[in-house]
Amino acid sequence: MANIVDVPVAQEKMTTLKSLDSLRDLQKSPLLFFSNLTQRYGDIVQIRIFFWPVIIINHPDYIKQVLQGNYRNYNKDVPIFNLFKPLLGNGLVTTYGGESWLQQRRLMQPAFHRQRLSDLGHQTTSSIETMFQHWERYALKHEPLDVAEEMMHLTLNIVSQALFSIDIHERANLFGEAFLEINAFLLEYFNRPFPPLNFPTPRNRRFHRALKTLNTVVYDIMKQHQQAPERHQDLLSMLIEARDEETGEGMSNQQLRDEVMTLLVAGHETAANGLAWSWYLLAEHPEVEQKLHEELDRVLAGRIPTIEDLPNLPYTRMVFEETMRLYPPVWIIMRKALDEDELGEHKIPKQTYVLWSTYAMHRHPEFWERPEQFYPEHFLPEQVAKRPRHAYIPFSHGPRICIGNNFAMVESQLILAMVAQRYRLKLVPDQKIEPQPLMTLRPKYGIQVYIEPR
């Protein structure tokens, strides 16, 4: 990111960031920057990044107004989402809003209805069994593996089968490496957005090679469906068959590509990172791991979990919810005010960007009993009831809440239950584990663990 400078204060009670030295802090550690910013200056701070006027908020009431109360006034025509357009195009996540987004959402929603989640359960447990076959060698030889990478492969395989009826297992490494290359490139490009992507620099050429790899996978999925549409009853088939009510036209290949890429990337990346951080936190907190094991042993008694078991596994759910509080996969959200608005007593000028860090909001001491600790009891029903709804937003909220939030929760709880039922994951000593805020909040160096049968 470039310069941060003074901007006119909207009114007296809003603080304006004045320290130019903050640039280094922002580039060095965005997570710490946003946390320190709100702790020092309060829940609403005004800055300028490049030529962009930005208001940073960190209060549930302000977030509720942007995501729900006056959501039509705030769209996604912002640098953070525009940065992803070379990868995601105009898919559901990056499209700005209005009728185009609403039409896309309506087309996809049936694939995520609760009655379709039972198929997800079978696909999840089957994919985990395949992963266990791979893990047996590591357990027998007491060799370490990177559980963050394992979760990426697992969730990529699950989402590709559940939404597109494709087994991507053999291409998981290829897809994962290309996506990691793009992920790192986009963060670097956001900090140094020059030269343009069409200049043939070594950095840009690496990006285009990685994007070509991902496109090859996506277009292959589309080709298989288009050649034999009668064989598939999944989301992609629904999108291929969908027709505009007025024109009768279907989606173009480009639009289909954008939607498939969005669902593949968003559908596996967020859940995988949440699960990776879960294994790290459980290994660091044996007392929580013990409670989890007791619940799994009592409820499941050794059998494979199903979706029907999830209501009887509340602590399993609480463990994953608490993980997403401390390490929310989507760690930053941004919107643009189309017209003037008010957040509390503060005027928001037209064309102003509004930004908040989910990571900072989830650690706000006013709303969390133990903000920096791994404490699943934060999600006991009585604790949830007394907390503002928008103090916890791992999937965003309002009309543009993540379409796959139920999908992700079911998948992640089943994975937690089935893996913890069979194995303990022990951290390899003396490794550096650090969150890296890219497109999502991932472990920068992975998480090396030993697999120990229970």
Which residue ranges are tagged as binding site for heme?
402
Q: In what order do the strands lie in the sheet with 353-357?
A: 15-16, 44-49, 52-57, 353-357, 332-337, 74-75
Could you give the CA distance from residue 407 to residue 353 in angstroms, rounded to a whole number? Answer: 30
Query: What are the tokens at 385?
Result: 């009831």
3-state SS of 302-369 is CCCCCHHHHHHCHHHHHHHHHHHHHCCCCCEEEEEECCCEEECCEEECCCCEEEEEHHHHCCCCCCCC
Q: Residues comprising the binding site?
A: 402
CA dist., res. 454 & res. 438, Å (int): 34
Contact 260, 221 (CB under 8 A): yes
Strands 353-357 and 52-57: parallel
Residue 433 CA to residue 442 CA, distance in Å, equals 10
Is residue 150 within 8 Å of residue 131, measured between CB atoms?
yes
Q: Do residues 413 and 101 make contact, with C-beta atoms less than 8 angstroms apart?
A: no
Q: Which two tokens mark 379?
A: 């999600």
> From the CB of residue 397, how many other CB atoms can be counted at a distance below 10 Å?
21
Looking only at the bridges linking them, the beta strands covering 332-337 and 74-75 are antiparallel
Distances (CA, A) of 132 to 151, 191, 205, 420: 12, 40, 37, 12
CA distance 194 to 1: 11
- Cβ atoms < 10 Å from Cβ of 352: 21
Q: For residue 84, give both structure tokens.
A: 């992803």
